[in-house]
Structure formats: C-alpha cells, structure tokens
Structure 1
C-alpha cells in the first residue's frame, strides 16, 4: 500500500486546504496524473501521482486542512480496475495514448457517429449523470465549491466539453432566477418571520486566500506604525510621450507602452535616493536591500495578489511592460507560481483602473513602503511659470510607509522625487 502525502510546497507554506479530489476512490491513476487540487495561502496547486495504481481511500475531504508531509490518501500500486473491481496488473501497462488508439480502432461506425453528435452538442453531453468527474478548469472547480454547485449538473461547456468559470456562474444565475420566480409566486406577507429572514441570508465560507489576505492586512496595521502622505502629478508630459511613441514602441517591442513602466522606473529612481523605503525590519535590525524587486498589485476574482517584477532596475521600459503583462495574465488564469509572489521589496498598486480618485494603501508586510496610483482626471491647475490656469490631466499619488524606520521628511521627499521624475520623462530616463 502506497501513502499519498502532501509534498513540500514552499519555505513559507506549511499547510493547505484540500480544494477538490480530481480522481475518485477505486479509480485507476497513471503516474504523473493529477489526483488532488490543494489550495494554499497564495496559489492553487495540483498534486500529481508518483505511481500508477488504484486509489483505495481518501483520508481527508474537500475543505479539510492538511499539513506538509501528511498522508491524505492510500493507493495500491500495480493494480488496475476491471468491471468495477480491482485486479493486480501483470506485465507492462499500456500508455494512455495506446489505450485511446485501441479504443478508436474497436469503435464501430454507429459509435463514431454518436461521438460526433456529442462533440457537436457539448451541452447535451453533461446530461449524462454517470459522469462522476466532469472536465473543468481549477478556477471553475473553485467557483463551483464557493457557490455550492455540482459540476456534473452544469450544462454550460466550451467546444471541448470543459466546464469553465463563466459556465458555473451562468448556471448559478439560472438557479437563482428560477428560485426568485418561485418566491414571487408565493403569497406575499407583510412581515417576514425570524426563520424566513434566516433563509434570506446566504453563508459563504471565505476562501483560504481571502482569509490570508484579511489576516495579513490586519497584522500590517497592528504591527507597523503606518502613515500615508499624498501628492499629485501632472501627467501631461507622459501622456504626450506615449501618444508620440506608442506606435513605434509597439512595432519595435511587440508590447504596448503603458503607465506602469513609467511609475516603476520613477519608484526605482526614488528608492535609490531614499534606500530606507526599500528596507525591511527584522527584530532590532534593518535589512537594507540593494536590489529592486517591485511588486505590482493585481486584482483577480479570488482576491488581490502581488506578483513581483524581478530586478526591475535592470529592465528597460519594454522589459517591464512585458513582465507585467506575463504576470497579470498568470494572475487572471490562476497559474501564478509561488516564486512569482515571494520576495518583493516595494509595491505599486493602481486603484485608478477601477475609478478610485483617492485612497490610503495598506503596507504589504514585511515591506515598509507602497505607492498608490489613482484615476487620471482633468482639473484646473495654476502654472507656476506663467501664473495662468490650465486644464491638465492630474493624478493623486499616495505613499504609505512604516514610520518606525521612515521619517515623514524622507517619505515626503521620496514622493516629491517620484512626482518630478514623472513630470519630466528625460530626468526619469537618466535617474533610472
């Protein structure tokens, strides 16, 4: 009997939550196949089998918390399944590809026509209640668990027969619509009883990632002496530069010239001038970091994640834009690795993408600084050189910092330097 254990995940992760078993008890598993999806504080990980055999028993169920090294299932090696019964395997096993070729060669014309009909009408295929484990993306499985949906009942699939997140959400909406219609047909009452009010409350368990986000945000506010200072930046020069260079930049680099590369370069220039904003507190010591791994906050359906652009000071504008694009796509598709999220020295967050005009970002511990970007909005501004009033595209900036090691003077000067570098792109290129 082989014991399936939780593997080593990362230095900072010692436990996880079983999100979903991808195989069933009594099912044969090939070596290398995924058998369970594990939800950690940062990413979801699929654990692959190191052996071929039959899964005998699950020791834990979805929602249970398990530790690294803990046995979560038992498997019988060199065993296969025939007519629902386990049998010992004698001799080498056929590969999955060989099995598929053999199945196709033994299929008659009528069964082939039936397969064609299934492919042409993928929605009909999910009506087969005998399918114990429909094919679905990890994100779809997670969404189904959160909404309490049975994946085998979801009739919304893509052309390949896979259940996706939008299919789960559409099915949930259809159920709610039917429920609302049924409720409307009931005789209305003037006052709802306590029991009826309880039925109107939906209890949804927080995901492990959301619990971790909540815990760390509270810890950051309780352990750091956090303050926020504000300034505003005139985006005229950057917007004009982007307008002039956007076509040639895309042609030469294959990526669009966005605002984030300008802000990343400006932050790096200011961090070099004020190194305490790039430090970390460990006990009674300061860790002054001479490298610049900049975290870029990305909002996903599962919560905020902060993937890290490594050695951003060594990258040009195109390199930064490409790296941010890759990390953002990984975040949206729930494919970030733990290494993508660890070790940042400073964070940039952009609430302006959602219309935020003003906010106070919370530190991403153990970092001691975070810059908040906001919505670009045209406002009348007094031009110092001419004492005239002009309408300019302006953005509020917010710098939250740990007052334990960063004084107000340094924080204000840091933000002023970021402002100056952004308002004069030539200085930005020189300083970065």
Structure 2
C-alpha cells in the first residue's frame, strides 16, 4: 500500500500552486522530513516534505502543472513494495533498487556524531547560500539529522554580519586562457550565421509571482479610478538630522538611520489627518481603518513584493528601520512568510533606490493610496527671493478617485511634505 503525497496548506486565500521543481524522481529513496518538491505560489515558494521514510512510487503531477491544496501529486511506498519484495498484493514494481546500491548510497553520505547519515541541505537553503556566496558546508544543520535548512543559513548570515566577518565564498578554480574558449564555444554554433545570432529569441515561462503581479496591476488600472498628484520635498532638514545623529543612532540601536522611517512616520501622520487614504472599498461601503499597517515595496529577483510593517504608528524610528531592513533582506532571499505579505492599509515605494527621477506608482489593491519616493537631486530653488541649491526629491501620490477627492489627495501629499521638511513635527503627529 502506498501513501499519498498531497499539496500542503499554502496559506490564507491561496488555493493552488505550480510545481516548480521535483527534487526526487520515481524510484528514489527518501527520508522523513526530506524535501520532495518545491511549489510556487503567488507570493512565496513552499516545500513539500516526506512525512515518512520510503521510496517515490509514482509521480502524478509534473513540473509546470497547477495543483490544488490537498491534491495528490505522488505516491510514496515502502522499498519492499516498490522492489517487489513481499508484494503479494500486486504492488507496482517501478524501481527495483538493489540492496547493495542502497547501502552504497547511504554509506557515501557524511556521518553525524550519532552515526546516522547526514541528509543533504534543503533546496531553499542551497539557493539562499548560493545567492549570498556562502559555502553551505560551513553551515551547521540544527535538525536532528544534521540537515541544513533555510533557517540555518539565515542564522549563519546574521552571525557573520554581527561579527563583521566576511562571508565565506566559493571560489571557482582558475582556468588557463586556453581552456576558457572551450566553455563558451557551444553557445553559438560555428555554422550559424552572425545575422541569425543577432536576432536570437528566447522563451522563458513567467513565474507564478510574475503572472500574479501582471494580473493585479492590470486589474488595478481597470477597476480603480486611479489618478496621481505630484509634489517636491526639500530633504535638507532630514539629511541634517541624519548627519548629526547617525553615529549615535547606530551605536545605540545597531541599525542605520535611513529615509524610510521618516517617510513612514510622515505617511502615518498624513493618514491620521486624511483617513480616507487609509481605507478600501467593499461593495457600496468604505471601510475606514484606524490602524496603520504600511506596506514597503521591495524589488526581488522574482518580482516585486510588499511586506508589511504592522502598527507603524506605535513603532519608534529604530524599530521601523530594523523591521524594514529585515523584511527587505528576507524578501530578496524568498524567505518571507505569507502572513508578512498579507494585508496592509497603505503602501510606500521608493524608485529612487534605482535612480528613478519621477514615476506614477500603481495602486496595490484593495488599498486606495500609494506614495512614490524618488531620487534626491541637488537643484536650484527659490527661497525668500534667493536662488539656492537644495537636495530635492519629487514625490507622487496615486489614489483611487472613487473615494478620495483630488483636493484631499493634494492636501495629503502637502502634509507628507510638511512633516518631512520639519522632522521635529514627526514626534508630535507621526
């Protein structure tokens, strides 16, 4: 009798996923807790783990197929059943692995102190280690069998960062100049004309997250009456505070004082003054939210994600900076939980980190407001009849005109501008 391998619960409101990778094939022996496959959802990747020891009997769903929560994707049988030993009930013999080969496979793995075979690192752990140039053999696994998980890699990275020790890198062996052409030679066959090579095309399947981003951005433009208003902020006061306080701030809180905490506090202050920017539409009603969960857009390799800083109005500058830094780091390593990506009452996106001078951000539905920050540029401005050079930033507010009036949106953005230009006011209103 075979045990069913089912799609696990993926998170609130997520009912299906795409099989991104099978890490095992039919006939492979697996151990309890070992990762069998990776599923790709709209927001995060999920591992499917073996609930007991056995052998992959039959794979029902292949890579790229969409599967539902609870759906059977494979069967896990006992080795005796798969190989035909004692299978008087007609169990399917798909992978007769000789006993000597199984012993060889087991003994070839490194042994733990308890004498058990050490299981290979999880695929997600290997991916995170590769992205951070970490030699995964240097990471100690915390599981009973010594298996390295993503949590072990993240802990290793945090320890290395706190100790200011350079991360161990995997150095590729040096090759002689004569050997290098052999590595790149197969890319363009010699017989292929240069003109054809210059017009080469490549088809790449969109990831589940990228498909979802595309769908939701189009939905936002089709369902919301979206408009954008602009203003500019003199960043002199904030930059002066950061210059004077950054060393003491970092020494006391062990985190750098950035711009995001100032803008988060300014947004909270403006939302309190204009509560309809902190709402959403449900049918014929406006849901006004009297809590402030601010989404911070982060550009990750697989697409934009918006982790949420909960109750931002109750957090200090240091707490906000620390949380944003942690969320951004884990967003780029795909280790955020679904709970950290759900909800949010208003969003801030900073295109200035990529050099953007001006843009019109798209609403992150069902929210009705999003603030876009941009690059700080030294520009001539007129102050008290004098032309002076100041560090200026353009800001943009996109809003849903169905419940937010134009004058309300303009005043909201002016309020953000006033609070950022007078940082002391953030202590009173932010």
2:163 aligned partner: none
1:417 aligned partner: 415
Shift of 1:26: 2.1
Provide the rounded CA distance (Å) in 1 between the counterparts of 2:258 and 2:207: 32
Question: Is residue 160 from structure 1 mapped to residue 146 from structure 2 by the alignment?
Answer: no
1:244 aligned partner: 244
- Map Cα deviations across residues 255-299 of structure 1 (whole Å, 9 max, x no partner): 000000000000000000101000011111111111100000000
Question: Is residue 311 from structure 1 mapped to residue 311 from structure 2 by the alignment?
Answer: yes
Shift of 1:58: 0.9
Provide the rounded CA distance (Å) in 1 between the counterparts of 2:306 and 2:68: 25
Q: Could you say if the C-alpha distance between residues 7 and 159 of structure 1 is closer, same or farther in structure 2, counting changes exceeding 3 Å? A: closer
1:112 aligned partner: none
Q: Could you say if the C-alpha distance between residues 351 and 187 of structure 1 is closer, same or farther in structure 2, counting changes exceeding 3 Å? A: closer
- The alignment covers a number of residue pairs equal to 370
Please tell me the root mean square deviation across aligned C-alpha atoms, in Å: 3.3
2:56 aligned partner: 55
Provide the rounded CA distance (Å) in 2 between the counterparts of 1:141 and 1:391: 46
Gaps of 5+ in 2: 84-95, 101-108, 140-152, 154-168, 171-179
1:16 aligned partner: 17
1:276 aligned partner: 276
1:280 and 1:367 in contact (8 A); partners too: yes
**What SS does the aligned partner of 2:248 have?**
helix
- Map Cα deviations across residues 58-108 of structure 1 (whole Å, 9 max, x no partner): 111111110111000101258699982489xxxxxxxx997775479xxxx
Provide the rounded CA distance (Å) in 1 between the counterparts of 2:253 and 2:428: 21
Gaps of 5+ in 1: 88-95, 105-132, 145-155, 168-172
1:36 aligned partner: 37
Aligned residue runs from structure 1 range 17-416, under 5 A: 17-77=18-78, 84-85=97-98, 101-102=114-115, 137-138=123-124, 158=135, 160=137, 177-179=184-186, 182-183=188-189, 185-186=190-191, 188=193, 200-383=200-383, 386-416=384-414
**What SS does the aligned partner of 2:313 have?**
helix
2:35 and 2:123 in contact (8 A); partners too: no
Provide the rounded CA distance (Å) in 2 between the counterparts of 1:175 and 1:157: 28
Q: Could you say if the C-alpha distance between residues 177 and 313 of structure 1 is closer, same or farther in structure 2, counting changes exceeding 3 Å? A: same
Provide the rounded CA distance (Å) in 2 between the counterparts of 1:139 and 1:274: 44
Shift of 1:423: 0.3
Provide the rounded CA distance (Å) in 2 between the counterparts of 1:360 and 1:174: 46
Q: Which moved more, 1:218-227 or 1:8-17?
A: 8-17
**What SS does the aligned partner of 1:370 have?**
strand
Shift of 1:49: 2.1
2:360 and 2:372 in contact (8 A); partners too: yes
1:361 and 1:370 in contact (8 A); partners too: yes
